[in-house]
């Protein structure tokens, strides 16, 4: 799976040609937006993807073009309040596999901060509305999560496609743990010692 930077024909088609077996496409706000994503991911006559080959074609049993039209995962991001209101129509589009909620951008579109999100909030209600729409349409619903505890909660709610934090977050945590384990007490270094951007 790959996330393209935008719902753009060039990004979608080149990423598929590079070998992605599915895409997460941001800022899909309407059924028309979702239909455009599907068209860009399928070959004629079902879509408008140009055949430039694919790095995975050699590993597919049979014709890649036929296989791709039936097997590529098409996941649209629902990350605005407009998209929440249109969730049923977006997820009803033929070819859409599921959706992925972007909580930060959703909060921005609602005019609130992340401090105003959480259990019982309008933000939480919007995300659960998307989940309900996905269940009605028989599609998978996903979300970006900030902790393992949240992952467990979302699994219990019925979300099926979950991301935990980010590679940057995990690297920063590991680096901080390593720096925290360094003991400078009792040392008398020559000059100042700098660790992780902090002066000791």
38 touches 95 (CB < 8 A)? yes
**Degrees to nearest 5, angle at CA 186 with 185 and 192:** 75
Superfamily of chain region 2-165: Phosphoenolpyruvate-binding domains (3.20.20.60)
Buried b (16+ CB within 10 A) or exposed e, 11-22: bbbebbbeebee
200 residues of the chain, pLDDT tens digit each: 999 999 999 999 999 999 999 999 999 999 999 999 999 999 999 999 998 878 999 999 889 999 999 999 999 999 999 999 999 999 999 999 999 999 999 999 999 999 999 999 999 999 999 999 999 999 999 999 999 999 999 999 999 999 999 899 999 999 999 999 998 776 666 666 555 555 44
**Pairwise CA distance, residues 110 & 132, whole Å:** 19
Buried b vs exposed e over 129-158: b needs ≥16 C-beta within 10 Å?
Answer: ebbebbeebebbbbbbbeeeebbeebeeee
CA distances from 87 to 30, 56, 99, 104 (A): 8, 32, 9, 17
Tell me if 96 sits within 8 A of 47, measured CB to CB.
no
Domain boundaries, the chain: 2-165
């Amino acid at each position: 799976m790959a996330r393209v930077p935008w719902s753009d024909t060039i990004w979608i088609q080149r990423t598929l040609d590079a070998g992605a077996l599915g895409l997460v496409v941001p800022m899909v706000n309407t059924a028309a937006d979702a239909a455009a994503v599907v068209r860009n991911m399928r070959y004629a006559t079902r879509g408008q993807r140009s055949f430039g080959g694919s790095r995975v074609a050699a590993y597919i049993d049979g014709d890649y073009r036929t296989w791709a039209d039936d097997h590529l995962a098409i996941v649209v991001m629902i990350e605005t309040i407009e998209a929440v209101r249109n969730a049923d129509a977006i997820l009803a589009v033929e070819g859409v596999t599921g959706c992925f909620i972007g909580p930060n951008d959703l909060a921005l579109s609602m005019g609130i901060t992340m401090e105003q999100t959480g259990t019982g909030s309008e933000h939480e209600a919007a995300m659960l509305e998307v989940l309900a729409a996905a269940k009605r349409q028989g599609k998978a619903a996903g979300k970006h999560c900030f902790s393992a505890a949240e992952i467990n909660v979302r699994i219990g709610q019925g979300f099926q496609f979950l991301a935990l934090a980010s590679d940057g977050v995990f690297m920063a945590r590991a680096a901080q743990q390593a720096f925290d384990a360094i003991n400078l007490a009792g040392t008398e270094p020559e000059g100042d010692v700098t660790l992780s951007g902090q002066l000791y």
